[in-house]
Structure 1
Amino acid sequence: MSSEKNSEKYLRIPPWLRVKLPTGKTFNNTAKLLADLNLNTVCQNAKCPNTWDCFSRKVATFLIMGHNCTRNCAFCNISPGLIEPLDADEPRRVSEAVSRLELKYVVITSVTRDDLPDGGAAHYAETIERIHNDHPECTVEVLIPDFQGDFDALKTVIAAGPDVINHNVETPPALYSKIRPQADYKQSIELLDRVKKTSKIHVKSGLMVGLGENDDQVREVIDNLAAINCDIITIGQYMRPSKEHPAVKRYVEPSVFDEYAEYGKGLKVPHMFCAPLVRSSFNAAEAFEEL
């Protein structure tokens, strides 16, 4: 085994990334409510390190259109598998969860459904519209796939009127062939640009560090997002979900995340949310409020 592989194997998790185990009555009640409604969350499926925090505050990011994905991005814990038919009742159940959790800000994401003609855009729209109808005061953020560059599918989501459209670029373009082989960096930037140019919806994107990029490449991504007037940029530390996933190449110091934030602010990005435990949906309401 090479020295590089040895160093990856024994790369210790630094103290700033150690999180509390999920405990407490509110955490358990949130988990039970989601199970009762037969709803998936990216918190649980993606093994998010902030699950204990969010569930304890009665917050969750809903994962619609099943729990298996048509893609197999190297960093992601949501794996490919048997693709389920769309559940027509799912929008209603998401809306019921919004009621029972008393959410004022809801984040909805999905697996990627390249098997569907519209990539699931209509299902997104139905979910957004159901929440708008049932909870007119609720702010809705969607974290969408790229819809394989289908602008008509994107327009379907835009027409439903979410308050924020998020689409993560995830990593610098140099790593796409290894980390996101079924995606295209320029296509993702173009998607965000189209939202910005054709609507008044706030645009958000994010990436992870620790997959093999360097700081110059991170700044290049910030440059690209700033150039299309992205409203919110999130940057967090990649954490390996299992031994089957790529090893962490580096743990980025908290001070470097502060430098990323200052760099983005210097480019007039309205909100930079950068820290080791940041995820695109974590504290989404607070990030939106700061706009």
Structure 2
Amino acid sequence: MTRTTVPAWLRAMVRDAKRADNPALHALTAGRLAGYRLHTVCDGARCPNKGSCYSHGTATFLILGNTCTRSCAFCAVDHGRPPAVDPEEPRRLAAAVAEMGLTHVVVTSVTRDDLPDGGAGQFAAVINELRKLPGRPRVEVLTPDFRGAPAALATVLAAGPEVFAHNVETVPRLYLAVRPGAEYRRSVNLLAQAARTAKPGTEIKTGIMLGLGEEEAEVMAVLEDVRAAGVTMITLGQYLAPTGRHYPVQRYVPPAEFAKWAEVGRQMGFKSVAAGPLVRSSYHAGEFYREIHV
């Protein structure tokens, strides 16, 4: 596959997002995370928004280690044999959240196909620890597919996160090349099960990357599928290859096209649609939640 040239406007956006607008708070955030021995998807996935998030004192927590059992072609997270589950991780994470003063906490994980429950118990333990904090911060979880196991999903939902998220990532045709080990229909079914069984008021969220070679009709079909499954919040962002070894970007989607998809999503009935080149599933997550819960 040929590689496309990053347009100047997108290079400028990425440069601005990476910049630490508040170096002191950026350093303080990084120091706190290191002090509590916590991983973040900001680092693990080489997110372009890290500078912006750290400079605002926020981060997306990555639990269950930083080594994934799968090897998706789009993802920068290391893959291989993960470490043993750390039973103290939920407590440390809650302590960090308290020190950082977060009111909306986003927790995701690597995929842990090596664990009987896929790591669902650790998600629940983290939520339960966060519930003990003064002010009870809102909790948004972004989980793997748990290989479609209903019991694993039930474990997470029973802990009562305000937002349950699982990303479909791309269109079905590209799964084998982009997301081996995952199955499109399994992911959609997981979202549908979450919508049916979550506690009343729980938002169901998913995310899609554009620029991987998908066609417009395919994106529309995915939006229709996840909306029918009960998804209420959706994000659409530009895929950026982490390194030259990852799946190459096929197209850089202009902002106007993202704006079009945002309008399509709103017309389809999603409560929240975040669409833009640097939109990521957890970027400004608290703000998008508050917009629909004013």
What is the Cα deviation at residue 220 of structure 1?
1.2
| 1:95 counterpart = 2:94 | yes
Partner SS, residue 230 of structure 2: coil
Is the CA contact (8 Å cut-off) linking 1:14 and 1:251 kept in structure 2?
no
Q: How far 1:136 moved relative to its partner?
A: 4.5
Q: Distance in 2 between matches of 1:14 and 1:22?
A: 17
2 CA distance for matches of 1:48 and 1:127? 23
Aligned partner letter, 1:139: R
Alignment partner of 1:253 is 2:254: yes
Aligned residue number for residue 139 of structure 1: 138
1:13-57 per-position Cα deviation (integer Å, ceiling 9, x unaligned): 431333234431111111111111110000011000100110000
> Which residues of structure 1 form unaligned runs of 5+?
none
1:18 maps to which of 1, 14, 19: 14
Distance (whole Å) between structure 1 residues aligned to residue 14 and residue 62 of structure 2: 25
Q: Percent identity?
A: 42
**1:222, 1:117 → 2: CA distance?**
31
Tell me by how many angstroms 1:12 deviates: 2.5
How far does the alpha carbon of each residue in 1:106-133 deviate from its partner, in whole angstroms, 9 at most, with x for none?
Answer: 0000000000000010111000000011
1:55-204 mapped onto 2 (5 Å cutoff): 55-199=54-198, 200=200, 201-204=202-205
| Contact 2:25-2:56 at 8 Å conserved across structures | yes
Deviations 1:196-247 (A, max 9, x none): 1112221000010111112221111111111123110000000010011011
Report if aligned partners of 2:67, 2:79 keep a CA contact under 8 Å in 1. yes
Deviation at 1:83, TM superposition (A): 1.3
Mean CA deviation greater in 207-216 or 83-92: 207-216
1:129-152 deviations in Å (ceiling 9; x for gaps): 000112443100000000001000
SS of the residue aligned with 1:88?
A: coil
Which is worse superposed, 128-137 or 158-167? Answer: 128-137
The residue type paired with residue 260 of structure 1 is W
Q: Could you say which residue in structure 1 is the equivalent of 2:221? A: 220
Q: Distance in 2 between matches of 1:81 and 1:181?
A: 15
- Once the two structures are overlaid, the 10-residue window that deviates more, 169-178 or 224-233, is 224-233
| Alpha-carbon distance between aligned partners in 1 of 2:143 and 2:134, rounded to the nearest angstrom | 21
Distance apart, 1:165 and its partner CA: 0.4
Give distance in 1, aligned partners of 2:217 and 2:273.
Answer: 17
1:274 CA drift (Å): 0.4
Other structure's SS at 2:15 match: coil
Partner residue, 1:30:
29
Root-mean-square deviation (CA, aligned residues, Å) is 1.1
- Give the counterpart letter for 1:277 in structure 2: L
Aligned pair 1:209/2:210, yes or no?
yes
Deviations 1:57-89 (A, max 9, x none): 001000000000000010000121231000111
Amino acid at match of 1:270: K
- Extract unaligned runs of 5+ from structure 2: none
Asked if 1 retains the 8 angstrom alpha-carbon contact of 2:44 and 2:78, the reply is no
Deviations 1:248-279 (A, max 9, x none): 10000000001101111111111110010000
CA–CA separation in structure 2 for the residues paired with 1:14 and 1:233:
27
Q: Distance in 2 between matches of 1:110 and 1:31?
A: 19
Aligned length: 285
SS of the residue corresponding to residue 18 of structure 1 reads helix
Partner of 1:282: 283
Using the TM superposition, name which of 130-139 and 149-158 deviates more: 130-139
Q: Which amino acid aligns with 2:5?
A: L
